[in-house]
Amino acid sequence: MERNNFMDSNVFTSTYYMDTKSAAYARTLSDCRRVAVSNANVLLIGESGVGKDVAAQYIHALSRRSDKAFVAVNCNAYTESLLEPELFGMEPGIFSDTIRRRIGKFELADHGTLFLDAIGDVSLTTQVKLLRAIETKEIERLGGNNKKILDFRLITATSRDLPTEVINGSFREDFFYRISTIVIRIPPLRDRKEDLEGMIHFFLQKAQEENGIRIDRIENKVWEFLMNYDYPGNIRELKNTLDRMVVLSQNHVITTEGIPILYNLKRLTPVSSYSTHELISWKEFKRRSEREYLEWALRQTNWNISAAARELSISTRQIFNKINEYNIEKPF
Instruction: Report the CATH number that the domain containing residue 297 is assigned in CATH.
Output: 1.10.10
Burial of 199 (0-12, 13-18, 19+ CB in 10 A): buried
Residue 93 falls inside a structural domain: yes
Containing H/E element for 60?
helix 52-61
Task: Report pLDDT for 99.
Answer: 60
Residues 320 and 223 in one domain: no
Is residue 1 over pLDDT 60? no
d(CA 249, CA 258): 7
Domain, as residue range, for 200: 192-253
Residues 81 and 220 in one domain: no
Residues 175 and 61 in one domain: yes
Q: Give Dmax over CA atoms of the chain in angstroms.
A: 76
d(CA 39, CA 85): 25
Residue 264: pLDDT band with limits 50, 70, 90: low
DSSP letters of 92-138? TTSSTT--S-B--HHHHTTTSEEEEETGGGS-HHHHHHHHHHHHH-E
Number of domains in the chain: 3
CA 167 to chain centre: 26
Residue 225 falls inside a structural domain: yes
Task: Report pLDDT for 69.
Answer: 97
Predicted TM-score (pTM) of the model is 0.76
Residues 157 and 67 in one domain: yes
Residues 135 and 96 in one domain: yes
Is residue 9 over pLDDT 50? no
Task: Report pLDDT for 102.
Answer: 86
Q: Among 137, 169, 187, where does a domain finish?
A: 187
Residues 183 and 197 in one domain: no
Residues 223 and 310 in one domain: no
Residue 8: pLDDT band with limits 50, 70, 90: very low
Residue 271: pLDDT band with limits 50, 70, 90: very low
Residues 246 and 215 in one domain: yes
Residue 1 falls inside a structural domain: no
> How high is the mean pLDDT of the chain?
86
Is residue 329 over pLDDT 80? yes
Considering only CA atoms, which of 44, 53, 49, 67 is closest in space to residue 15?
53
d(CA 53, CA 75): 13
Residues 289 and 304 in one domain: yes
Residues 25 and 64 in one domain: yes
Is residue 296 over pLDDT 90? no
Q: Among 158, 187, 216, where does a domain finish?
A: 187
Residue 332 falls inside a structural domain: yes
Task: Report pLDDT for 6.
Answer: 42
Q: What pLDDT digit, counting tens, does each position of 97-136 carry?
A: 556 788 999 999 999 999 999 999 999 999 999 999 999 9
Is residue 229 over pLDDT 80? yes
Of 77-91, 212-226, 255-269, 302-316, the poorest mean pLDDT is in: 255-269
Residues 206 and 143 in one domain: no
Compute the average pLDDT of residues 204-218. 95
Of 68-82, 201-215, 271-285, the poorest mean pLDDT is in: 271-285
The answer to whether 261 and 297 are in contact (CB under 8 A) is yes
Q: Among 138, 158, 187, where does a domain finish?
A: 187
